[in-house]
Structure 1
Amino acid sequence: MEAFVTTLLLTAIVQTGDRSQLLCAGLAMRFDRRALLIAAVAAASVAGAAIAAIGGQVVGDWISRDALSLFYALSLLFAGLGMLGWRRPVDLLQGWRIGPFFTTLFGVMILQFGDKGQFIVAATAARSHDALWPLLGGATGTVIGLIPGIVWQDELARWPLRPVRIGAGLCIAALGILLALSAFGLV
């Protein structure tokens, strides 16, 4: 259950002001089909979290406990640092003519593939030697993190996302550093 809760919280936080959230806001303005977009986000989140969780569980069987601790710490450190960096502009997929569900499904899957949240899910699955709880936590956290983009679309631009991203990024990076030092036996 710890794997579920930590993965849910971390993946929801790292979505704040992220390109995926902004893509969801743009697609919600374009299509105005909130329930359908949320369903597509849920499907994309489950698929991405499943890939990450299964991969993490496989990796977890191959490496030592200390290496797993370091892998988890680095996933948090890089997620936190990723929240501090500059983001490229979001392509709103205007040229895609495959409907609101599939545009959202594939757009979110592409943006999420190899993203911060997936590494957190993989590292948690590797560390816990369980794919189910990190998968469920990661998928749920991603959906929770992306729904504000769909529901509040244009209001999202007025929210102070940058300070929130910086604060959360610094906290997550600091936690990653602390866990890395612990993995090396320095704390």
Structure 2
Amino acid sequence: MEAFFTTFLLTAITQAGDRAQLLCAALGQRFDRPVPLSIGVILASGAMAAIGALGGVAVGTWISLDALRLFYALSLLFAGLGMLAPRRAVDTLPGWRTGPVLTGLLGLFILQFGDKGQFIIAATAARNHDWVWPLVGGWAGMVVGLVPAIVWQAKLADWPIRSVRLGAGVVITLIGAALALGAFGLV
């Protein structure tokens, strides 16, 4: 269960103000059909979590325990630094002539492939030698971080996202750095 809670919390927090969340809000305004768009986002999030979890378990069988510790530490370190870095503008996919389910599914899948949430899921799965709980936790965290943006769209601007993003980015970066130093035996 620790793997579930870790991946849930980290993937939900790392979505705050991220490009994926902004894309979901923009697509929510564009389509004004939250249920079909949410279905596409939920399917894309599930696919991303599955790829991360299964890839993490595969990697976890190939590398040593020390390397697993470093992999987990680096996933957190880079996720935290990614939250502190300036964001690029989001392509709202205006030329796509697909409906909300397919646009949400493909748009989010393309944007999130190899993103920090997927690496956190992979690192947690590798560290725990279990793909189920990291997959479920990461998937739930992505859904909790993204679907409200579809529903609340413009109200997202009223949320203290910048503060949450900066605060969480600092905390996650520090935890990742401490774990990385520990993996090298320096702490």
TM-score (norm 2): 0.98
Q: Partner amino acid for 1:2?
A: E
Structure 1 partner of 2:86:
86
What does 1:1-187 align with in structure 2 at a 5 Å threshold? Answer: 1-187=1-187
Give the residue type in structure 1 aligned to 2:71: F
Cα distance, 1:159 vs structure 2: 2.2
- 1:111-139: per-residue Cα shift (whole Å, max 9, x none)? 11010000000100110111111111111
Query: Alignment length, in residue pairs?
Result: 187
Local SS of the residue matching 1:98: coil
* One-letter amino acid of the structure 1 residue matched with residue 162 of structure 2: R
Q: Which runs of 4 or more aligned residues in structure 1 lie more than 2 Å from their structure 2 counterparts after TM superposition?
A: none
Structure 2: runs of 5 or more not aligned: none
Q: Which amino acid aligns with 1:162?
A: R
Q: What is the letter of the counterpart of residue 15 of structure 1?
A: Q
Distance in 1 (alpha carbons) for counterparts of 2:4 and 2:164: 23
Give 1:160 shift: 2.5
TM-score, length-normalised on structure 1? 0.98
The Cα shift of 1:185 comes to 1.9
| CA distance in structure 2 between the partners assigned to 1:97 and 1:37 by the alignment | 14
RMSD: 0.8
Q: Tell me by how many angstroms 1:186 deviates.
A: 2.1
Query: What SS is found at the alignment partner of 2:179?
Result: helix
Deviation track 1:53-72 (CA, whole Å, cap 9, x = no partner) reads 11111000000001100100
1:129-186 per-residue CA deviation (whole Å, 9 max, x = no partner) reads 1111111111110000002211110011232211211100000000001111111222
One-letter amino acid matched to 2:35: A
SS in 1 for 2:35: helix
SS at match of 1:92: coil
Q: Could you list the runs of 5+ residues in structure 1 that have no partner in the other structure?
A: none
Structure 2: how far apart are the matches of 1:174 and 1:77?
A: 7
